[in-house]
Amino acid sequence: MDAETNKILGHLLDGSRKRRSVISIVGMGGLGKTTLAKRVVNEAKARFSLSVWIDVSQQYSAESLLRDFLRQVTKLKVKKLEQMTRTECEATVYQTLKAENYLIVMDDVWDKEVWTILSPHLPDAENGSRVLITTRYVDVPRAADPSTPLLELRLLSKEESWELLSKKAFPNVGKEIARKCGGLPLALVVLGGLLSTKGPSLGAWKRVAETLVWETSKDGRVCLDILALSYEDLPRRLKCCFLYFSSLPEDFEINVDKLIGLWVAEGFVEQRAGETLEETAEDYLEELVQRCMVIRVQDESGPIIEVSCRIHDLLHDLTVAEDKEVGFLVSQGIRDNEGVSQLDSSVRRLSLQGEKAWCWDSKSTPRLRTFLFYLFCQVDINRVFIMWHNNF
Ligand SMILES: Nc1ncnc2c1ncn2[C@@H]1O[C@H](COP(=O)(O)OP(=O)(O)O)[C@@H](O)[C@H]1O
Ligand SMILES: [Mg+2]
């Protein structure tokens, strides 16, 4: 409302306009006329010797308007006011205002009559007095003063609407959650993604806010907590799909079809009526993307649009840690001449990444069912397979 406030203040406080003048705020009910008028009065009233606010509304009587007015500007008791005739009231209003430089607000004026009733008793000492009218109808201010500047309030833009709605939705818990992300965009988007699956439920947001331990924000732990929370919130099937990212090298972009093929082969994808497994898996991926846990990458530079995806390296760390904990998958990056490090006999899924082909004693891993390898060099793929067969 800053622009509107300044415009009205400009008029109210314009020292070159000595004559009493009127300014109006016009717009439908609920548009913010009263709010704006209050704000303006707060800022301007110190510059007037007297300020009066009259709630006019649809049902009013001349007497009640005048008495309301006098109640605010004189020390007359209610009883005394009630005994006064309309003519006496009118005269008292005039007398009281005569020597003043006043600001009068007539809020929510529905018809032109109000002005006809009051204006003859509002003296003009040419000392910069002002009347501010708020109304739904343009003809009210036109009748009051055809030269009166009108401020027609506008509706909020899409962005402003969203800002206001989200402020109102969960004012405290929402702000608290945002603050505790420590200004880190990754934490904000992941947490936002998580909250978007909760719908606008205050209870759910509160639970999220309470789950996080905030004290440790300095070392980025909060971020990890937030990421872990988002992971914990995933449905079981999505957890498996997400953990599978640990099998990829860090910052690796995997082709979406390839990834989906792997999920399906692993049996992570449930069979839904009328859908292929791949279609269902595509939904899973979409949900992870929506939760901002997976980033979709589209490369349109070549003749075929290449769609792949990856996860943030902090999330990758999370998957690796979680894998270790639950024994879901063992992922090893192998440097130069190092070999495969000691493998636990319970390993079911193994992913190796490096620049060489590797060997290990397959008897040490009798439960192995999945073997993924990422070779960062040109090798003879047949040789790798022969090694693989010989190994078992
Ligand atoms: N720009 C704004 N920003 C935030 N809230 C607003 C804004 N304008 C109006 N409101 C809110 O909308 C409601 C209606 O405003 P109000 O001033 O009473 O409208 P009007 O007087 O035009 O009928 C109030 O609760 C007010 O706080
Ligand atoms: Mg109003």
Would you state the pLDDT for residue 214?
53
CA distance 108 to 125: 26
Is 203's pLDDT higher than 90?
no
Over pLDDT 70: what percentage of the chain?
91
Give the number of the ligand closest to the Cα of residue 153.
Answer: 1
Tokens of 267: 């049996």
- Split at pLDDT 50, 70, 90, the class of 309 is very high
Above 80 in pLDDT, residue 202? no
Q: Which two tokens stand for residue 19?
A: 């004559």
Of 144 and 118, which is predicted with more confidence?
Answer: 118
Mutation test residue for ligand 1: of 2, 35, 41, 109, the one with most atoms within 8 Å of CB: 35
Please determine, for residue 220, whether its predicted confidence score (pLDDT) is greater than 60: no
Contacts of 58 (CB under 8 A, 6+ apart): 108, 110
Q: Which residues make Cβ contacts (< 8 Å) with residue 203, sequence separation at least 6?
A: none
Average pLDDT over residues 299-309: 87
pLDDT value for 180: 75
278 to 257, 263, 372: CA distances (angstroms):
9, 9, 20
Place of tokens 């399906």: 264
- Give percent of the chain above pLDDT 90: 46
107 C-alpha vs ligand 2 centroid, how far in Å? 6
Tell me if 366 CB under 6 Å of ligand 1: no
pLDDT at site 302: 82
DSSP string, 250-300: TT--EEHHHHHHHHHHHT-SPP-TT--HHHHHHHHHHHHHHTTSSEEEEE-
- Say yes or no: CB of residue 34 within 6 Å of ligand 1: yes
Q: Whose CA is nearest to atom 1 of ligand 1?
A: 1
CB of residue 164 inside a 6 A radius of ligand 1: yes
234-324: in CATH 3.40.50.1110: no
* Of the candidates 107, 92, 95, the residue with the CA atom closest to the CA atom of residue 38: 107
Q: Which helix (H) or strand (E) holds 221?
A: helix 221-232
For the Cβ of 105 lying below 6 angstroms from any atom of ligand 1, the answer is: no
Cα separation, 210 vs 281, in Å, equals: 32
The bound ligand whose nearest atom lies closest to the alpha carbon of 53 is 2
Task: Tell me the pLDDT tens digit for each residue of 1-54.
Answer: 899 999 999 999 998 989 999 999 999 888 899 999 999 999 999 999 999 999
Task: Pick the closest to residue 227 from 201, 263, 188 (CA basis).
Answer: 188
324 band by pLDDT with thresholds 50, 70 and 90: confident
Q: Under CATH, what is the fold of the domain 2-152?
A: Rossmann fold (3.40.50)
49 lines ligand 1 (CB under 6 A): no
Distance between CA atoms of 228 and 243, rounded to whole angstroms? 12
Residue 320, both tokens: 């690796």
Mean local confidence (pLDDT), 372-384: 69
Find out whether the beta carbon of 26 lies less than 6 Å from any atom of ligand 1: no
Q: How far apart are CA 167 and CA 170, in angstroms?
A: 7
Cα 388 from Cα 380, distance rounded (Å): 13
Average confidence score pLDDT of the chain: 86
Tell me the domain boundaries of the chain: 2-152, 158-232, 234-324, 329-392
Q: Bridge partners of 109?
A: 135
Ligand nearest to the CA of 36: 1
319 vs 230: CA distance, rounded Å: 12
pLDDT beyond 60 at 218: no
Is any ligand 1 atom within 6 A of the Cβ of residue 157?
no
DSSP assignment of 80-132:
HHHHS-HHHHHHHHHHHHHT--EEEEEEEE-STHHHHHHGGGS---SS--EEE
